[in-house]
Structure 1
Amino acid sequence: MLKAFFQTDKGRVRPHNEDNGAVIQITATDVFAIVADGMGGHLSGDVASKMAVDFLTGNFNTYIHENSDVADSLRRLLQDSNNEIYSYSKENPDCQGMGTTVVAVKADEERYILAHVGDSRCYHIKESSVEQITEDHTLVNELVKSGQITSEEAEFHPRKNVIMRAIGTDPTVDIDLYTYNWDAGDYLLMCSDGLSNKVSPTQMEEVMSKDGTLEEKAAELIAFANEAGGEDNISLVLLYNEPADKEGVSS
């Protein structure tokens, strides 16, 4: 059985929340989940993230039913949401240049398929290990990959938040796709950078290893981010591949 929970918080500094997200519990063993972090002038960041989430949730069933290749369905979903947001920004001057990150996952008990654009992340948490599945589409990450700066320098780089790839900012977008197996007892943590910039993998593992509901774990992770400054909006989805012997027990 799969369990999922979405939570968002505007943080301690921002006047409004430009993040968005959703969980669709398709069946007891199938889930579709999204986290989106909007960007743009005025209030257009929250327009972009809401448009992306609305498009993905509103069209997910149609795209999946039309195509047995789930990864390709997710790619088409994100590309078509990109087209919609880009067109809207061209027609509405107040939204010029708006865009959003997206991390979207279709999961069942055996595997998860992930589509990703931007610097929102997905972590696979298994026993005592935390693995970052996604790769940030940021200027700083490109500098790290090319050897111009170290990972340690990247943490404090003044242009850390410069996004190189987003949904809605250009006519087309490259979309990263991943397919992984996972086991009963594993978690996925999907989150905006308001969480990943403030909460370490060690803290993530500490929270997920405790007893408690997904709601309680989400609240504790958000509290960590706010205690560390909470300068950005904070959003996450927790997915839990619940072992059969725990079904019916709070988790």
Structure 2
Amino acid sequence: MATAALHYAAAAASDRGRKRANNQDAFGFSIEHGIYVVCDGMGGAAGGEIASSIAVDEVLQVLTARDPSAPIPKVAEDAVCTANNAVYARSQRNANLSGMGTTLVALVVEQSTVWVFNVGDSRCYRLRNGKLEQLTLDHSLVEEQVRLGRMSKHEAQRSPLRNVITRAVGTQNCVTPDCFQFEAQPGDLFLLCSDGLTRELPDAEIQERLGGDDPLQERTDRLVEAANKAGGRDNITCIVVQARV
């Protein structure tokens, strides 16, 4: 029996939070092309805003113009390299932007096949049958220590080094993303988010607020509002993507 074709719906929200003067997050998506991107910039002056904006634009452009026969992992790597080169070159031209960079997490969907790729500690989650699962691995100092068994999850959450990331777009002349492939099922929800959400809300609360039957935009706004109520110490950005028949 043939499997019913999936299509996708999406909603997004971004907020500077309660402590930051500006929003260094950026996001973009094209439902038509099945591309969704969240970036969390870093750098003095306007560096973070510029880095995240460049990265989103470059990744969307490369993925939108991709050859349909090209394998997505290769295209994803090309897109990240293009974004990295653009951010790095911009930082080299302006001393005020030196050292700027950005995290990146992206989702590409083609029917029931889903690819997720990331650099840094912005994350992708999947909510399936009420259960939330993190699909990406953080490129951060503490999370790598947790994976090596040298630090507990609890210690990582309290560590003064929890903001240190080990991979970013634009800070070096080359960077490689992780890329993962999954099969989507009807009803699956994918959440792309910056760490302004995950630093404020535990996974159990994200799971609770993401679930239910409310419109996607209400659920997305609810996550941002909850992160602000929990402290809002960083910029908060979410894209929620749902697979439907």
TM-score, shorter chain, exceeding 0.5: yes
State how 1:137-152 maps to structure 2 within 5 Å.
Answer: 137-152=139-154
In the superposition, the TM-score normalised over structure 1's length comes to: 0.92
Deviation at 1:43, TM superposition (A): 1.4
Query: Residue 30 of structure 2: SS of its match in structure 1?
Result: strand
User: Which position in structure 1 is the counterpart of 2:59?
Assistant: 56
Unaligned runs of 5+ residues in structure 2 are 1-6
User: Which position in structure 2 is the counterpart of 1:118?
Assistant: 120
Deviation at 1:67, TM superposition (A): 5.0
State how 1:187-202 maps to structure 2 within 5 Å.
Answer: 187-202=189-204
Cα distance in 2 for partners of 1:176, 1:217 equals: 28
Deviation at 1:130, TM superposition (A): 0.8
Q: Give the alignment partner of residue 7 of structure 1, picking from 8, 13, 16.
A: 13
1:161-201 Cα distance to aligned partner (Å, 9 max, x none): 01110000001112101000110001000000000111222
Deviation at 1:146, TM superposition (A): 2.7
User: Which position in structure 1 is the counterpart of 2:88?
Assistant: 86
% identity of equivalent residues: 34
Paired residue type of 2:56: V
Q: Per the alignment, do residues 126 and 95 of structure 1 end up closer, same or farther by CA in structure 2, a change over 3 Å counting?
A: same
1:207-250 Cα distance to aligned partner (Å, 9 max, x none): 232221111001100111001100000001100002x3xxxxxx
Paired residue type of 1:120: S
Cα distance in 2 for partners of 1:185, 1:195 equals: 23
RMSD across aligned C-alpha pairs, in angstroms?
Answer: 1.2
Paired residue type of 2:48: G
Q: Is the 8 A contact 1:106 1:113 kept in 2?
A: yes
In the superposition, the TM-score normalised over structure 2's length comes to: 0.94
Deviation at 1:59, TM superposition (A): 2.7
Unaligned runs of 5+ residues in structure 1 are 245-251
User: Which position in structure 1 is the counterpart of 2:225?
Assistant: 223
Which stretch shifts more, 140-149 or 124-133? 140-149
Paired residue type of 1:109: Q
User: Which position in structure 2 is the counterpart of 1:159?
Assistant: 161
User: Which position in structure 2 is the counterpart of 1:104?
Assistant: 106
In the alignment, structure 1 residue 17 sits paired with structure 2 residue 23: yes
Cα distance in 2 for partners of 1:7, 1:235 equals: 6
Cα distance in 2 for partners of 1:151, 1:67 equals: 41
Paired residue type of 1:60: L
User: Which position in structure 1 is the counterpart of 2:38?
Assistant: 35
Which stretch shifts more, 53-62 or 220-229? 53-62
Consecutive aligned runs of 4 or more in structure 1 exceeding 3 Å deviation: none
Query: Residue 155 of structure 1: SS of its match in structure 2?
Result: helix
1:123-154 Cα distance to aligned partner (Å, 9 max, x none): 01101211101111011112222332211100
Paired residue type of 1:59: V
